[in-house]
């Protein structure tokens, strides 16, 4: 039977009543005060389950050393707050920590906020998640606490996203959620409750220093599963956050996690992985943007010619490299630039042409796990989105009065999907050094927009443009060297 636990933890009671945290400034900066490494409290953890016996640890599955290496089995028993979502990954992470001898309490963070979308309440996304989370916890006799962080999520993630879209940038809600909510607001709430670590089902590996060397930093490494690796989403955490985290799945591949879930006979072993932005559930992204930002009709211009091709709903619905939703004939068309001031979208059919190079950009709001960051002109690897693919790159440090330290990044090859507002994470071998936010300022190698297109974009009265030019693509009828026909 499902039981939503009314929190018995004093520090969590305000969250259960949906009140804001007492220190919102700390959430905005996402920087928590340092805590001594592995400082074990002498008091018993609140509502924590007793450490399992040797027989219990081996009851569900014979755990070999490599399965518990990322679960800090050599330091058991630790007091661990485990974030669970009802999915397979977090459930296996909880089971591994429990089997490794740690004293675990599970926490489900309720961040669903879309009361405005009434038509979706019949399929409330967190209700099913919570039932699975409770079933897993009941199976291994671990207490589950439900914590409401909807207000915090709205104030420090969703509102930020809306503002970024209004400015023409493309934010990453998953990075913000990890930094400001899961390991920000929640970590702050349980700071004084005696837990040594927070754990989750992320695919990443945190290597902590030996207890004797408390001054050394913790480091973030790629997980064993390079396809599922989630270090990109964790790359903007602070050192004080990182040193409090455990990721038991960092040493395991996804297919092995699935096999373990079956061996452990977890209630959710056959459940599919979640997809998309976590807080939207079944709400389409376009519906969310329309609800909270609205629509404002603008024009679409061909970047190379300045031809007026059609209209769009508002620049915030589109990101660089986007192909869907343009509703233009003669394509495929891609968004290549945006004029935010004049609400104009520039498109091209030559997005992937060799002469349209996009490999140099600037990164600000830098965050490094060891504070110093990479060396000047150092060759590194980087990710500009969540993907198993890396770019070789060279980074050069710059300084601007307005934005503080800035990196100029030169990729070894083109990337046509660079978007301002996204994060760029940097790596030295398998070590994640940190990340920064891709800035609006592009160098001379950005996608060229002709002067005619720029002049038309500035027109106050765009009704003088008349009817859009209609492009008919006759590639299947004409020779490759012939251009498509433009029809007025």
Strand, helix or coil at 138? helix
DSSP of 196-225? SEEE---S-EEEPPPTT-TTSPPEEE--S-
Residue 341: which residues within 8 A CB-CB, separation 6 or more? none
| Rounded alpha-carbon distances, angstroms, from residue 191 to 74, 200, 257 | 23, 17, 30
Give the integer Cα–Cα distance in Å for 121 and 117: 7
Residue 191: which residues within 8 A CB-CB, separation 6 or more? 11, 32, 35
Give the integer Cα–Cα distance in Å for 312 and 342: 13
CB of 415 closer than 8 Å to CB of 358: yes
104, 137, 177, 432: the active-site residue: 177
| Rounded alpha-carbon distances, angstroms, from residue 355 to 303, 339, 414, 447 | 14, 22, 10, 9
- 278 tagged catalytic: yes
Give the integer Cα–Cα distance in Å for 304 and 348: 7
Peptide bond into 434 cis (omega under 30): no
Q: Which two tokens stand for residue 335?
A: 């968004």
Give the integer Cα–Cα distance in Å for 284 and 370: 39
- Determine the length of the chain: 488
Neighbours of 441 (CB within 10 A): 14
User: Among 418, 450, 415, which Cα is nearest to 320's?
Assistant: 418
70, 104, 137, 278: the active-site residue: 278
User: Among 69, 35, 7, which Cα is nearest to 196's?
Assistant: 35
Residue positions annotated with a catalytic role? 177, 278
């Amino acid at each position: 039977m499902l039981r939503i636990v009314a929190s018995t933890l004093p520090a969590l009671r305000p969250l259960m009543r949906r009140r804001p945290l007492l220190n919102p400034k700390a959430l905005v900066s996402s920087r928590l005060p340092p805590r001594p490494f592995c400082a074990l409290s002498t008091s018993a953890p609140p509502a924590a389950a007793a450490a399992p016996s040797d027989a219990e640890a081996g009851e569900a599955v014979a755990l070999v050393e490599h399965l518990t290496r990322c679960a800090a089995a050599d330091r058991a028993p630790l007091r661990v707050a485990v974030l669970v979502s009802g999915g397979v990954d977090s459930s296996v992470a909880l089971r591994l920590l429990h089997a490794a001898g740690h004293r675990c309490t599970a926490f489900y963070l309720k961040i669903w906020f879309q009361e405005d979308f009434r038509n979706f309440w019949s399929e409330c996304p967190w209700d099913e998640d919570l039932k699975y989370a409770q079933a897993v916890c009941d199976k291994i006799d671990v207490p589950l606490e439900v914590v409401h962080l909807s207000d915090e999520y709205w104030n420090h993630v969703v509102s930020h996203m809306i503002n970024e879209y209004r400015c023409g940038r493309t934010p990453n809600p998953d990075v913000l959620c990890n930094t400001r909510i899961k390991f920000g607001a929640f970590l702050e709430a349980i700071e004084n409750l005696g837990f040594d670590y927070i754990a989750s089902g992320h695919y990443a590996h945190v290597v902590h220093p030996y207890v004797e060397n408390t001054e050394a930093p913790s480091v973030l490494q790629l997980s064993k599963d390079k396809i599922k690796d989630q270090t990109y989403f964790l790359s903007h955490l602070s050192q004080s956050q990182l040193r409090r985290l455990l990721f038991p799945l960092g040493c395991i591949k996804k297919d092995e996690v699935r096999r373990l879930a079956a061996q452990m006979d977890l209630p959710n072993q056959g459940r599919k992985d979640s997809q998309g932005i976590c807080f939207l559930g079944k709400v389409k992204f376009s519906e969310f943007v329309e609800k909270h930002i609205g629509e404002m009709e603008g024009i679409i211009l061909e970047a190379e010619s300045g031809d007026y091709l059609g209209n769009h709903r508002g620049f915030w619905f589109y990101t660089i490299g986007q192909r869907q939703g343009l509703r233009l004939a003669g394509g495929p068309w891609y968004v290549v630039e945006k004029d935010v001031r004049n609400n104009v979208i520039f498109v091209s059919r030559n997005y992937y042409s060799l002469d349209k190079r996009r490999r140099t950009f600037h990164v600000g709001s830098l965050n490094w796990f060891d504070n110093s960051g990479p060396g000047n002109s150092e060759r590194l690897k980087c990710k500009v989105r969540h993907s198993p693919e890396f770019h070789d790159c060279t980074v050069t440090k710059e300084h601007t009065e307005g934005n503080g330290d800035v990196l100029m990044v030169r990729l070894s090859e083109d990337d046509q999907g660079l978007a301002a507002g996204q994060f760029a994470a940097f790596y030295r071998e398998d070590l994640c050094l940190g990340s920064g936010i891709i800035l609006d300022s592009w160098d001379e190698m950005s996608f060229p927009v002709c002067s005619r297109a720029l002049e038309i974009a500035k027109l106050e009265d765009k009704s003088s443009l008349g009817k859009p030019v209609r492009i008919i693509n006759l590639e299947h009828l004409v020779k490759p060297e012939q251009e498509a026909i433009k029809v007025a």
